[in-house]
A and B are shown apart, each in its own frame.
Chain A
Amino acid sequence: MKKKILLSFFVASSLFADAELDAIKEQLKQQKIITQRLEAKLSMLEKKQAKQQVKIETKKSVNTSASFSQNAYLPDIALILNMSALSRNISNNDYPNVEIPGFINKGDIHLPFNKDKGFNLNYAEVAMHSVVDPYFEAFANFHLHPDEFEIGEAYIQTTSLPYSLRLRAGKFKSHFGRINSKHQHSWHFDSQPIIYKALFGPDGISDPGVQLQWMAPTDTYLMFGAEAMQGTNERSFGESDKNNLYIGYIKSSVDVGDNLSILGGVSIAHGKNKTHHKTDIYGVDLTLREQLGSYNALIWQSEFLQRNKDLGNKTDKQAGLYSELIYQYNNNYSFGVRYDDITKNDTDLSAYGIDTSNLKRYTAMVEYKPFPMSRLRLSYSHDKTKVLDGKRKDIDKVMLSINIAAGAHGAHDY
């Protein structure tokens, strides 16, 4: 009997020990789950508390601003500076007398930028942008040359028209073509394409007027635009009886895969020149951009422009193109080459008495951007479009330019 009791006692105790172990394990497991849940709850509560504290703090803060302060409504203001140092095989005295046969006569060339051998301060531009109200936003570029003040652009545009419409009014750069609407500091090269310079002068098509743009409700980007402008540009238009310039364009873009985007456009500008006859300018542009990485891209941009200028007794037909290839190596360095060509010059060139064919220019550049707001650019160009004192004068130019945009300057368009 005693033995039996002892044995059962022994068995029970060992059984008990096993059961105890399991129970403890189970308890531990549950404790773990509880801990995890509590931790989750704790972090949630902490977050909630933090949120509430933020709320309380915002509630608590009293108005400390000056009673009639309007600081919060200040527009974005930026200062854009552009300057250069250059060397060239033509003197500063001769340079303003160069001609482009068929386009620009002696003394007519307008040279606001990079005019002098040596140093140039091209401009200090004050750019402003502000939302006006729920319906309009306003832009202005005050273009300050060393001895000239110019309102480069000043316009308002709508933000809330229905049917994908946008209306703009004021003085602005036309969206004709690809490069016309862009500011000089956002170009890939410092110099304007020859055909733009020849047809419009350094400002391009820039006039007081109105613009209406409409984007089609398609998956592919398709945009139609119409503009009515004053037409003060005397190189191509310039009849001053009334506003004379009407512009229309279609732009479209497709993406091929993730990295290649293609943008193309056709444009027409119809105006009246100083002889009271019509001038028609047709433009075709194509831009391909292959994105190779975040800061690495290959861009090929080309434009072709043709002008038919009716002078009463005859119609001058002239055309030209430029094509540029830019390789953006990383966020600091870019390289680019550009080819300019006057492809058609159907006008009376007999007065020159020399061969005026083969009007071309070659440009190459290296760009260094320490930061997105500053840029140094070294460029070389060989220009075969110029005539000086009745003789062809090929101009070689080496230039180092610096451009900065300081302050609140918005991002640029594509």
Chain B
Amino acid sequence: MKKIITLTVLLSTVLFASIKIDATYSTLGAIAKKIGKDKVSITVLGSPKYDPHFIVPKPSLLSKLRRADLLIINGGGLELGWLPPLIRSANNPNIQNGAKGFLDISHFVPMIDVPTSVSRAFGDVHAQGNPHYSTDPHLVLTIANAIEQKLENLDANNATYYKQNLADFTKEWNGYLSKIDAKMATCKDKKVVQYHELFNYFLDRYDFKSYGTVEPLPGIAPSSKHTVKLINLIKQSGIKTILQDVYHEKKTARFIADKTGAKVVVIPHDMGAVGGTTLQEFYNNIADRLCR
């Protein structure tokens, strides 16, 4: 009897030892797994199938948030439209904004496209800058570092474990970066337009130039006037690639492609959006599709 009790106590402590991490998006979750490995369990709240700005705040997400030890958010306003009411109703003091178990990755990333003035007259602009940084493979280690710091902070007993995982991952990722950089260096056609400014971090990293967006303003559905303008721009500038994401309507991009001869390429905005279950597959997907 005593043995059984000790065993259950032991087992339950082992079970408890796993840190429950909720990540708002899949790429962040995958990076956290690289650092936490067996010591963490990861739940991704927002499916990569959907627009990251408008994840449906299903009540089932509340039970996931309720038991989380750590909530990792993308930040930069990306979760503003769905996460705050969930946090409010999850009744979990650990993951409140400012609590120990709350990690906003955007606080560690040098943001680009920071607007000099902000008004909703410009559509859904984020005052903090473009929040879609996870498409840049060179920021993965920055994110990994932030997560490692947080995990050390939350679970000091396993600090060396996380440090070692980070060191291993850093080595692995630097190796991967030289590969993807070499691949992208062979890329010649660097002119694109995109549906929404989702891929600016990747495009900036590899010296692509984004000439415009299919949507007239961030978060505003395409208009015929703007589409005509864009068609002319594509023709004038000799742009051959239209970057489409998985969740917006594809009709407009196809129409523009028909009129201009440019090609519509679906680019994943988050890990798993077009298949692929690892970080490398995610970035390879972007690279392969951009650099045909």
Contact = CB atoms under 8 A, between A and B. Distances in A.
Interface stretch (A36-44, A104-112, A232-240, A347-355): A36-44
B51 A54 contact: no
A213 B59 contact: no
Contacts of A412: 85
A40 B84 contact: no
B81 A372 contact: yes
A interface secondary structure, majority:
mixed
Interface string A126-164: 000001001001000000000000000000010111101
Given A221-B60, A251-B59, A294 B247 contact: yes
Tell me what chain B mostly uses at the interface: helix, strand, loop, or mixed: loop
Contact of B54 (A40, A214, A295): A295
Contacts of A253: 58-60
Contact of A40 (B56, B181, B249): B181
Contacts of B120: 371, 373, 406
Contacts of A131: 97
B47 A40 contact: no
A94 interface: no
A82 B96 CA distance: 33
Nearest to A406: B120
Contacts of A295: 51, 54
B138 A47 contact: yes
Nearest to A220: B63
Given A294-B54, A330-B221, A411-B81, A217 B60 contact: no
B272 to A, nearest CB: 12
B43 to A, nearest CB: 11
B93 A39 contact: no
A215 B60 contact: no
B58 A261 contact: yes
Interface in A296-346: 297, 330-332
B62 A371 contact: no
A356 to B, nearest CB: 39
Nearest to A254: B60
Residue of B62, B81, B93, B120 contacting most chain A CB atoms (<10 Å)? B93
Given A43-B138, A137-B88, A371-B123, A218 B219 contact: no
Interface string A391-414: 000000000000000100011111
Interface of B: 47, 49-51, 54, 56-60, 62-63, 66-67, 80-85, 88-93, 96-99, 110, 120, 123-124, 138, 142, 174, 177-178, 181-182, 219-221, 247-249
Closest 8 CB pairs of A and B: A253-B59, A160-B93, A294-B51, A294-B247, A221-B59, A164-B91, A166-B91, A294-B50
Given A50-B110, A221-B63, 19 more contacts: A54-B110, A134-B98, A137-B88, A157-B88, A166-B89, A218-B63, A220-B63, A221-B60, A221-B62, A258-B47, A294-B54, A295-B51, A330-B249, A370-B220, A373-B120, A410-B84, A410-B85, A411-B83, A414-B58
